[in-house]
Structure 1
Amino acid sequence: MRKTITMAVLLLALAACNQNSKTTDNNNINMNQKEKAKEVAGRRNFGAQHPVMTPQPCIMIATYDENQVPDVMMAAWGGQCDYDKITFDLGAHKTTDNIRLKKAFTVSFATEENMAESDYFGLVSGNKIPDKVKRAGFIATPSPNVDAPIINEYKLTLECRVIEMEENGEGGARVVGEVVNWSADESILNAEGKVDLAKLKPIIFDSSALVYRTVGDSIGQAWHSGKKFQ
């Protein structure tokens, strides 16, 4: 009986070692594949580390916690994924927990006017400083459409409900939200009633220099400037 148990233990140990060896081999293969990326001739090559995607928006995600305390964080990994849908990736944040709880959020855009306050929202965690919205001197108003706050100082805001949340196993998640309404302050509209980015002055995140930059001037007309090549 003892011999049988000993043999079983040895077989299990060998199986575990083989599995670990396979895992290590697979990891080494993946690492080697990345290391063997072919260089593009005539250019400086950086491999796969910290790729520069530009422009990256400075989106301000506002949520409520279980006590209806407002929170705001800045995120850059996000964008529009359908006509009325937006998506972004988050790590393990207070915002991520709030979105899980409320299944709702609002998205606004950092601007030249409130760059410092917006940067502050990205610097501090709502888990450690729950009143950071108040500390920044901003005012939160409940959205009439979703269970999330509208930050009055941000002049363009999208009210969203969560339609998909894919967990990453590390406390973060990829979030897809449906825009149920969006509103803009009259001060950023043009004579035709459309949002004028020149008036809004949104900023973008430069991931190469780690600075914020303003959106530049208009240089051409969409779906028109390229017609000269037709």
Structure 2
Amino acid sequence: MKESIGPRTLGFPTPVFIVGSYDDKGKPNIMNAAAAGMCCLVPPCIYVSLREATYTYHNIMKRKAFTVSIPPEKYVVEADYFGLTSGKKADKFEVSGLTPVESELVDAPYVNEFPVILECKLKETVNLGSHNMFIGEVLDLKVDKEVLIDITSKSGKKLNRIDPEKFLPLIFDLSTRNYYKLGEKIGDGFSDGSKLLKK
């Protein structure tokens, strides 16, 4: 029997989203956003939902842009730190020893050491209650070659894709407030379910 635990959000597992922005003085800042994910395929869009009290909220409102750097599991300490203090109080890049890189496409920095980067222009802002959702249109997805894999589509076209087993993205569960590793592949998407189409 299922037990009711009340109205709550659930989105496990999700990769950790480290949101990059510039403040009024051009100082690069990053934060760990727990409420974030994909929201549209065409055009490609992602969202990050932030409280107005955060430093990043005001940076994005002014600059109309942000980046998302997705860390691999070996950066769990740094990623967690990015959510523990405000950019008003600390230079998170300096403290963590990581390197800010100025995006060539949007007015925001990203983390050089993280292998997957999304560069976003602000498309829309939606007030949802405690948080405002920033919908960012992805202008580019930058990926380190070391985590790419070549696959062939059904039409025979060669495609570059991120290999989760090479990337090893850091995963966060908001309900338990814990970080996890990605597990092993157990099936083929858009394929395995076809066995039931014949029934």
TM-score w.r.t. length of structure 2: 0.87
What is the aligned-residue RMSD (CA, Å)? 1.6
Query: What is the aligned counterpart of 2:50 among 76, 90, 99?
Result: 90
Q: Is the 8 A contact 1:57 1:76 kept in 2?
A: no
Distance 2:164 2:188 in 1: 14
Letter in 1 for 2:103: S
CA 174–191 in structure 1, closer or farther in 2 if over 3 Å, else same: closer
- In 1, the alpha carbon distance for the partners of 2:123 and 2:48 equals 13
Segments of structure 2 that go 5 or more residues without pairing to the other structure are 152-159
The answer to whether 1:104 aligns with 2:65 is: yes
Partner of 1:64: 22
Change over 3 Å in CA distance of 1:76–1:132 after alignment to 2: same
For 2:134, the aligned partner's letter is: V
Contact 1:57 1:77 in 2 (8 A): no
Q: CA deviation at 1:110?
A: 2.5
CA–CA distance in 2 between the matches of 1:165 and 1:207?
Answer: 23
Residue matched to 1:74: 32
Unaligned residue ranges in structure 1 (runs of 5+): 1-41
Q: Which structure's relative contact order is higher, taking Cα pairs within 8 Å and 6+ residues apart?
A: 2
Bigger radius of gyration, 1 or 2?
A: 1
User: 1:101-180 residue pairs with structure 2 within 5 A?
Assistant: 101-129=62-90, 131-167=91-127, 172-180=131-139
Displacement, 1:51?
A: 4.1
Higher strand share: 2
Partner amino acid for 1:160?
C
For the 8 Å contact 1:78–1:89, the answer to whether it is kept is yes
Secondary structure, counterpart of 2:106 in structure 1: coil
- 2:21–2:56 contact (8 Å) kept in structure 1: yes
Q: Which has the higher helix share?
A: 1
- SS of the residue corresponding to residue 165 of structure 1 reads strand
Size of the alignment, in residue pairs?
Answer: 186
Letter in 2 for 1:176: I
